[in-house]
Amino acid sequence: MPRNATLKTRLGRDDWLRSTLAALMEEGIGGVRIERIAKTLGVTRGSFYHHFADREDLLRELLDHWIEVSTTRIRDEVGALGLDPVNTLSALSRMIRHRDGSTFDVAIRAWALHDEMAREYAARADEARLEFIRSQFVAAGFEGLDAENRARIFMYYEMSEPAVFANQTRELEDALIEKRIELLTRR
């Protein structure tokens, strides 16, 4: 059997999801076409139907995958470090940057402007993110609107910074993270 044929049979749901996210980033939701993604992966449409019932199933799985990768895993890994709240926020910011945790946010949110399902998933991700970030500010001694406002500023920055300042060095990112956390946690 040719080597390429072996590789094609090993494609799984995650391969389809990663390729779909790439198509979403490149062309928006209109670029998420089964034929296009199959061609990119070098397989037939039949491979798609082995993993997904239809395009709607793919889109739902894509949104679940996005939340898992960009929110749940990062939150859980940072939480498992057992750091104090200030260092947790710093570690969270670094993990978002170094793992491209907000890479797909712009594409998902553009899609959500015109699609109820995407909007619901984006709202779910936002609430999970905000809840974790807010809990760190509360644990650091901030209350009420003060904790809420700091959490929102942190979240807005983390979600939008890669889109606005795309070509920063890691050293500059790390220095800015430290200053940002210092500013947000100062009394």
List, in order, residues 6 or more apart from 63 with CB less than 8 Å away.
108, 117, 118, 121
pLDDT tens for residues 100-127?
Answer: 767 888 899 999 999 999 999 999 999 9
Any idea where the domains of the chain sit in the sequence?
A: 1-52, 54-185
Query: 4 versus 152: which is more confidently predicted?
Result: 152
Q: How confident is the model at residue 7 (pLDDT cuts 50, 70, 90)?
A: very low
DSSP state of 31: G
Rounded mean pLDDT, 54-68 = 96
Rounded mean pLDDT, 149-168 = 88
1-52 CATH choice from 3.40.50.1370, 1.10.10.60, 3.90.1150.10, 3.40.50.1580: 1.10.10.60
- The three-class DSSP label of residue 185 is helix
Burial class for 145, CB neighbours closer than 10 Å (0-12, 13-18, 19+): exposed
pLDDT greater than 80 at residue 10: no
Are 154 and 133 in contact by the 8 Å Cβ rule? The answer is: yes
Confidence at residue 98, expressed as pLDDT on a 0 to 100 scale? 82
How far, in Å, CA of 155 to CA of 133, rounded?
Answer: 8
Q: Which residue has the tokens 């978002």?
A: 96
In percent, how much of the chain has pLDDT > 70? 95
Half-sphere exposure of 142 (CA within 13 A, CB side): 19
The H or E element containing residue 85 is helix 85-98
CATH of segment(s) 54-185: 1.10.357.10
- The three-class DSSP label of residue 142 is coil
Rounded mean pLDDT, 69-98 = 95
Q: Which residue has the tokens 């940072």?
A: 78
Confidence at residue 84, expressed as pLDDT on a 0 to 100 scale? 98
Rounded mean pLDDT, 150-163 = 90
Comparing CA positions, the residue from 56, 30, 60, 35 lying closest to residue 45 is 35
pLDDT tens for residues 11-41?
Answer: 899 999 999 999 999 999 999 999 999 999 9
